[in-house]
Amino acid sequence: MSLRRASIVLVATTVTALGFWLGRDVEQRLEVFISPAPDTPELYMEQFTLTVTGADGLPRHSIRGERMEQYQLDGSSLVETPVMVMNQPDAPDWTLNAEQAWVSPDGEEVRLYGAVHMSRPEGPAHATVDIHTRDVTVWPEPQRAESEAPVQVRSPQYQVDGTGLRADLQTSILELLHDADATYFP
């Protein structure tokens, strides 16, 4: 066999082997793009603020956090150290802080996980209110919140402890569902 034929056979064998080697896990690599795992984020933002406005262009509510990841399969988002602000046209805004939050794909439901602090500062017709509980579900429109966990409500005029909470953040009406124990200050 001549040197030229041997070189051609060697090059053809090398190219064929290299092709098999490169193509051996193509299916695995394509599978990552075709069917992502449920916990694969589609996009993420860090140090973000998202504001939702009404038809009048005024802010209705906002959420900010350290990091938000949106997931490919269902469009939901996970937020680290969320701070929600529920804007009130004629009263002080409510602020809700949590350890983590899940936001539904359409943004109509927000689940605040872990320790949750809800607060409203003093206003002309409203006293300061501080609420401490856990695992709160918030519906930004119509600005309602619920929890089944133990709740502590503190204000200069009263303190209430109980279990379970329904809150209408537009009217600032708070309802404790079970085992409520209240102390009112003159």
| Predicted TM-score (pTM) of this structure | 0.77
List of the chain residues with pLDDT < 50: none
The DSSP code for 93 is P
Q: What is the pLDDT of residue 38?
A: 64
Handedness of CA 15, 17, 22, 27 (dihedral sign): positive
Dist. CA 131–CA 12, nearest whole Å = 74
Q: What is the pLDDT of residue 7?
A: 73
Residues 41-184: name the CATH superfamily: Lipopolysaccharide (LPS) transport protein A like domain (2.60.450.10)
At 27 the pLDDT is: 65
- CB count within 10 Å of CB 108 equals 11
Domain boundaries, the chain: 3-34, 41-184
Convert the pLDDT of each residue in 11-31 to its tens digit: 778 777 667 766 666 666 666
Q: What count of other Cβ atoms lies within 10 Å of the Cβ of residue 161?
A: 16
Q: What is the pLDDT of residue 119?
A: 96
Q: Which long-range contacts (CB under 8 A, 24 or more apart) does 135-138 make?
A: 135/111, 136/96, 136/98, 136/111, 136/112, 136/165, 137/109, 137/110, 137/111, 137/112, 138/84, 138/96, 138/109, 138/110, 138/111, 138/112
Residues 152 and 133: beta-carbon distance below 8 Å: yes
